[in-house]
Amino acid sequence: MSLFNNTLAQIEKAASLIGLNEDVLHILSEPQRKVEVSIPVRMDDGSLRLFEGFRVQHNNVCGPYKGGFRYHTQVDMEEVKALSAWMTIKCAVVGIPLGGAKGGVVVNPKELSEGEIERLTRNYVRLLEPVIGPDMDIPAPDVNTNAKIMDWFADEYSKLKGKDMKGVVTGKSLENGGSKGRSAATAQGGVYILDEFLREKDIKPEETTIVVQGFGNAGETAARLLTEEGYKVVGVSDSQGGIVCAHAVNPEEISSCKTDKSSVVHCGDPADCRRVTNEDLLELECDVLVLAAMENQLTKENAPLVKAKYILELANGPITPEADETLKQKNICIIPDILANAGGVTVSYFEMLQNADNNYLSEEEINEKLKEIMVTAWQEVKTNAEKYECTLREAAYATALGRLEEKLSEL
């Protein structure tokens, strides 16, 4: 089943739970616009290469399209369609007035120089220019894209329009109109919800062991924030493999070691930590497994072997529908992506508001507003889980679909 069909299956499951209007389901079953581009890039050796890129605008009934773009070799139309639909749902779960979109380019940025990545980004903007804009579609960072890339994006779009239009993209650097707290927001939002979830179960941070898959933007920040709160992060991984340690790791040390040595597998105290494969990391004994890498990490093959008690999905779609069913039967509770990682888009929304008003908030103010939105969404999802006697994932979809149905009925 394609990733987009997985998404539709999740939507349909929740739709039948709440008796969603058929027309609403029909509208959500296909993106409103799909753009495919061939991006020419002059390489450093003088040759010209074409890169395949996408932007999918799923639905804008709640507000302008919003969603990141990624640079990755696995990007394809089905993946981008799925990610765009999740953005529509995610914005509706947390109740912010934005729609869903996503973009991507088929490329391994590690094989490109900085100049080549800049030219790729600028040429991607030129091709997308007719369908994006601060009131139309506002991209943001995702896998392998960052504040520097967002700054090039904003600069190129402003040049095309002949005026400052930095509001076309969020996740920019602070010097260029970015929001305080944006780079940590995805992880921070998830941590606020995990805190609530565990507090309600009377489980204390210092009694909680955590394993983090994917030591990138979301995962590394989550490891740092969780450690600051007293949780014990005992395992981490990246695309090259992972480490598991008898005692909690220091995420800041792992970060600087990763910068020096390119992967977490070379990090941690050798007397305390051992190297594990990416497959083994997912099967470690721990209280909470944080999935912060890519889609489809837990499948019907490895889900039966998961030993974590709880899963926090910071990545989008890290669990296939079959694995979801297996984990449900094993009583492993999942805090789903569309709720857990919505902090990123929420602070992106704050960035849009700050750019429009030219009035910038402190990190404390941003985090206070973020917490309020995340905790409110968590309470709504929990209420729906009790009302419909369903999983948190189904309840999060039910919450979002209820809002989308209301908006669509105004059309």
| Residues acting as catalytic residues | 102
Sheet containing 100-106, strands listed edge to edge, beginning at the edge strand earlier in sequence: 33-42, 48-59, 100-106, 65-72, 137-141
Nearer to ligand NAD, 208 or 341 (CB): 341
Q: Total number of residues binding ligand NAD (CB under 6 A)?
A: 24
Cα→Cα distances 307→289, 333, 404, Å: 9, 12, 36
Which residues in the 333-362 window bind ligand NAD by CB under 6 A? 341, 344
Residue type, 313: E
Shortest distance (Å) from residue 170 CB to ligand NAD: 9
Shortest distance (Å) from residue 189 CB to ligand NAD: 9
CB neighbourhood size of 361 (10 A): 18
Structure tokens at 124: 């991607």
Instruction: Name, in order, each residue with C-beta under 8 angstroms of 300's C-beta and a sequence gap of 6 or more.
Output: 320, 322, 323, 326
The reply to whether 143 sits near ligand NAD by the rule CB under 6 A is yes
The reply to whether 31 sits near ligand NAD by the rule CB under 6 A is no
Nearer to ligand NAD, 8 or 292 (CB): 292
Q: How far apart are CA 206 and CA 225, in angstroms?
A: 13
Q: How far apart are CA 37 and CA 70, in angstroms?
A: 14
What H or E segment, with its residue span, contains residue 237? strand 232-238
**Cβ proximity of 164 and 87 under 8 Å:** no
Structure tokens at 292: 């912060």
Cα→Cα distances 68→33, 135, 138, 199, Å: 16, 16, 8, 32
The reply to whether 286 sits near ligand NAD by the rule CB under 6 A is no
Nearer to ligand NAD, 17 or 68 (CB): 68
Shortest distance (Å) from residue 281 CB to ligand NAD: 7
Q: Taking CB under 6 A as the rule, which mask of x and - marks residues 157-196 in contact with ligand NAD?
A: -----------------------------x----------
Candidates 105-113, 198-206, 215-223, 328-336; binding stretch for ligand NAD (CB under 6 A): 215-223
The reply to whether 216 sits near ligand NAD by the rule CB under 6 A is yes
Nearer to ligand NAD, 60 or 217 (CB): 217
Shortest distance (Å) from residue 215 CB to ligand NAD: 5
Structure tokens at 200: 């309600």
Q: How far apart are CA 119 and CA 279, in angstroms?
A: 36
Shortest distance (Å) from residue 74 CB to ligand NAD: 10
Phi, psi of 41 (to 5 degrees): -135, 125
Q: Taking CB under 6 A as the rule, which mask of x and - marks residues 288-327 in contact with ligand NAD?
A: ----xxx-------------------xxx-----------
Q: How far apart are CA 271 and CA 236, in angstroms?
A: 16
Shortest distance (Å) from residue 49 CB to ligand NAD: 22
3-state secondary structure of 178: coil
Shortest distance (Å) from residue 240 CB to ligand NAD: 7
The reply to whether 144 sits near ligand NAD by the rule CB under 6 A is yes
Of the residues 84, 217, 354, 391, which one makes contact with ligand NAD according to CB under 6 A: 217
Q: Taking CB under 6 A as the rule, which mask of x and - marks residues 249-278 in contact with ligand NAD?
A: -----------------------------x
Structure tokens at 62: 């709640």
| Burial state string for 389-400 with b = 16 or more CB within 10 A and e = fewer than 16 | ebbbbbbbbbbb
Of the residues 75, 101, 191, 218, which one makes contact with ligand NAD according to CB under 6 A: 218
Summarize as ranges the residues that interact with ligand NAD (CB under 6 A): 141-144, 186, 213-219, 237-239, 278, 292-294, 314-316, 341, 344
